[in-house]
Copies of this chain bind each other. A is one copy, B any other.
Amino acid sequence: MPQTLPDIQNTLDTRGVALEQVGVSDIKYPITVLDRAQGKQHTIASLAMSVSLPHQFKGTHMSRFIEVLSRYRDEFTIQTLPNVLDEMRTRLEAEAARIEVRFPYFVERSAPVSGMKALMDYQCTFIGDSSTDSDNFILGVTVPVASLCPCSKEISDYGAHNQRGDVAIQVRTTRDAAGESQLLWIEELIEIAENAASAPLYPLLKRPDERYVTMQAYENPAFVEDITRDVAVQLREDPRVEWFSVQVTNFESIHNHNAFASTSWHR
C-alpha cells in the first residue's frame, strides 16, 4: 500500500453546483430512546444522515457519518439531536446537517375491560435540521386506529363499514426560556390520535374487550376528514406546539384503495 492514499473527495470542483444534501441512507442501527413509562427503550432505527456541500468541494467523507452514529446510539432523543447534528457539522466540516431517524416504539396497552396487557408498536420519526443560523426538530408518530364511516352508518338499516387506518402526526414544538425545544411525549400524540378516531387498536382483546371496542366504534363514527380535524383542534390548543401536520389514511373496507385527508398549521 502506498504511504499516503490520495483524497479524491478533498479536491476542488469547478461545476458551480452546491449540494443541499450529501450523505448515507437506509442505515439500520440499534438505538436507545426515551420511554415515558420505562425510562429507556431499545429499538432499531432506519436512518438517513447528510450534510450540505459547498460548490467548490468535490465530495463528502461518508464514513464519518457512521462514526458519529456509533457514538450517539445509546441515547437518541429530540434532546440529544442538537448534539448529533453539531458533531456531524464539525466532523464533516459542513454548514448544515440533517438527520432522519425512523423507528418502531412499543407501548404496553391494557385491554379496556379485561385489563390484559401486551405491547403495541407505533412507527416514529425524529427529523433534525441544523445550520449556522437556525435549527429545526420534528417528532412524528403514526398511530393505527379504527374508523367507522358516518355515511355508511346513517344510510344503512344495520351495520356500518369500518377499517384500520393510520393517523400520521408531525410536530415541531416551541422553545422554552433556555431556547430548547419543549418535550412532547410520543405517548401524548398517540392519545391525541386515538381520541380523534372511532376506536383505538389493541394488541390483545378478549371477548368482553371486543364487545367494548365494537360498540365504541359504532358510537363514534368518523370520516378521515373528522379525524384530521379533531387531531388539529387538539394540537392547536397545546401551547407547546409551534407547527404540525396531520394526515389520516383509511384502508377502506369497501374499496381496494384508500381514503385520506391532511392539513398543517403553524402558530
Contacts and interface: CB of A to CB of B under 8 A. Distances in A.
Interface of A: 1-2, 5-9, 13, 15, 17-30, 42-44, 48, 50, 53, 58-60, 62-63, 66-67, 69-70, 104, 106, 113, 116-121, 144, 146, 148-152, 154-164, 199, 201-208, 210-211, 213-215, 217-218, 223-226, 228-230, 232-233, 249, 251-264
A135 to B, nearest CB: 20
Nearest to A66: B204
How many copies the complex holds: the figure is 4
A205 B63 contact: yes
Main secondary structure, interface of A, reads: mixed
A253 B163 contact: yes
Contacts of A44: 43-44, 104, 121
Contacts of A13: 225, 229
A118 B228 contact: no
Contacts of A163: 162-164, 251, 253
Given A106-B30, A118-B66, A146-B161, A249 B25 contact: yes
Given A53-B261, A59-B225, 19 more contacts: A5-B207, A5-B208, A17-B229, A17-B233, A19-B263, A23-B259, A23-B260, A24-B257, A25-B258, A27-B203, A28-B121, A58-B226, A149-B210, A151-B207, A151-B210, A156-B215, A159-B218, A164-B251, A201-B253
